[in-house]
């Protein structure tokens, strides 16, 4: 039986909490998607600024070219999260901030030392998924220069794709299979602690992204049957009612020219 996220931090204040505002490039999932999934999985209201407003993108660009304010340095790149007076960027940093607040950073049943350790383990697992299944997946189609077009580095991308599919992708899938088979998973349904955390949601998004980018390669790996627990986690999250509703809604954006791109010649 799947365990729900742990309870959110309680507050006795009668003042309504400030809204979560996510600023990320419009029309693509990208690095903003793991943040959206955390809000959607916990039915937490949020504003997807650049997709909800015509002026959202210009607001984001102003932040990126500005100097910040008295308490917040300027963000370097999206995603950016605004929550009350706080403004932060960098995806892992945002996940580290919202995870405990949404009940997605481990069990509240542990003592403080145990909770702290679990938070670091959750972050460790999310970082690993982002390293191998997001950042490296992006570098397949842009192996030489991020600022150059794919068409300018196709030969290098082809070589990078061959190595990624043959070695790097199985390496990371194998790692998460071991994590799910380990004792710290506490049952093999979730990565750590026997309950859904943001690390699971990050892994889900990364798996979904590589499925889009390399459908043939991923299908071959699935058919080999070596990563049953990894794909079991993927299906388990897909079946969460709040996630299922989100995936069937217009809020879920289509893949395009973002991190995960499908070029048939790279998926052979």
| 233-to-2, 33, 65, 70, 221 alpha-carbon distances in Å | 10, 18, 40, 43, 16
- Which residues have CB under 8 Å from 209's CB, separation 6+? 29, 133, 134, 137, 255, 259, 260
Query: What is the rounded CA–CA span in Å between residue 180 and residue 242?
Result: 23
pLDDT at 115: 84
Give me the tens of pLDDT residue by residue for the chain, a chain 268 residues long. 445 555 455 555 678 889 999 999 999 999 999 999 999 999 999 999 999 999 999 999 999 999 999 999 999 999 999 999 999 999 999 999 999 999 999 875 567 777 889 999 999 999 999 999 999 999 999 999 999 999 999 999 999 999 999 999 999 999 999 999 999 999 999 999 999 999 999 999 999 999 999 999 999 999 999 999 999 999 999 999 999 999 999 999 999 989 999 999 999 8
Query: What is the rounded CA–CA span in Å between residue 226 and residue 115?
Result: 32
Query: What is the rounded CA–CA span in Å between residue 81 and residue 90?
Result: 9
CA dihedral 121, 127, 128, 130 (to 10 degrees): 150
pLDDT at 191: 98
- Which residues have CB under 8 Å from 153's CB, separation 6+? 142, 143, 144, 145
- The token pair at 187 is 């049952």
**Beta pairing class for 80-83 and 46-48:** unpaired
Decide if 226 contacts 177 (C-beta within 8 A). yes
Query: What is the rounded CA–CA span in Å between residue 4 and residue 1?
Result: 10
pLDDT at 11: 53
pLDDT at 4: 54
For 37, the enclosing helix (H) or strand (E) is helix 33-41
pLDDT at 111: 72
pLDDT at 109: 57
């Amino acid at each position: 039986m799947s365990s729900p996220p742990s309870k959110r931090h309680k507050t006795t204040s009668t003042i309504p909490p400030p809204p979560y505002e996510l600023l990320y490039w419009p029309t693509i999932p990208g690095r903003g998607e793991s943040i959206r999934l955390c809000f959607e999985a916990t039915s937490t209201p949020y504003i997807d600024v650049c997709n909800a407003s015509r002026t959202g993108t210009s607001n984001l660009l102003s932040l990126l070219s500005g100097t910040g304010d008295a308490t917040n340095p300027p963000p370097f790149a999206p995603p950016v999260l605004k929550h009350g007076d706080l403004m932060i960027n960098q995806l892992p940093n945002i996940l580290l901030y919202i995870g405990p607040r949404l009940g997605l950073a481990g069990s509240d049943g542990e003592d403080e030392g145990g909770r702290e350790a679990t938070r670091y383990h959750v972050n460790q697992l999310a970082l690993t998924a982002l390293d191998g299944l997001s950042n490296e997946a992006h570098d397949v189609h842009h192996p030489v220069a991020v600022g150059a077009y794919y068409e300018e580095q196709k030969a290098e991308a082809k070589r990078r794709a061959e190595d990624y599919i043959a070695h790097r992708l199985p390496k990371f899938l194998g790692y998460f299979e071991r994590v799910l088979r380990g004792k710290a998973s506490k049952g093999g349904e979730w990565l750590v602690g026997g309950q859904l955390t943001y690390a699971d949601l990050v892994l889900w998004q990364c798996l979904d992204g590589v499925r889009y980018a390399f459908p043939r390669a991923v299908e071959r790996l699935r058919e080999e049957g070596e990563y049953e627990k990894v794909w079991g986690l993927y299906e388990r999250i897909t079946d969460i009612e709040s996630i299922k509703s989100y995936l069937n809604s217009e809020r879920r954006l289509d893949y395009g020219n973002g991190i995960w791109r499908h070029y048939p010649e790279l998926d052979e």
